Amino acid sequence: MAGATLAVVTVVPMPPRGEWFPDARSGERAMRISWHTELGCVVLSSWKDETCVATVRLTTGDAARLMSVLADGLAAAATGDASETSTRSA
């Protein structure tokens, strides 16, 4: 990328409430989810190898909505009914 600036970011240790999830497509990608109760948010970070390439901070309310969307998708996958997935807009 021409003109792109790379920033060096310090990776903090995984909080007590966190987990890694490997990407289903490749062993080099993963998602880290970490709760930061002191900040009232959950951080979803996307990793490639040992490098964090993106983060998203969700409020607890948005995290609950994300969980609802995931649960709807799992229910649809279990029943094979694609019409059960959420179509709510952001």
More confident residue, 82 or 23: 23
Q: Which of 15, 19, 42 has the alpha carbon at shortest distance from 32?
A: 19
> How many domains, the chain?
1
pLDDT over 70 (residue 9): no
Residue 28 lies in a domain: yes
Q: What is the pLDDT of residues 18-52, one digit of tens each?
A: 899 999 997 899 999 999 988 999 999 999 998 99
Residue 30 lies in a domain: yes
Q: How far apart are CA 65 and CA 89, in angstroms?
A: 11
pLDDT over 50 (residue 90): no
Q: What is the pLDDT of residues 50-64, one digit of tens each?
A: 899 999 999 999 999
The residues near 27 (Cβ < 8 Å, ≥ 6 apart) are: none
SS3 62: helix
Residue 86 lies in a domain: no
Q: Which pTM value belongs to this model?
A: 0.68
Query: Domain residues for 60?
Result: 19-79
Residue 70 lies in a domain: yes
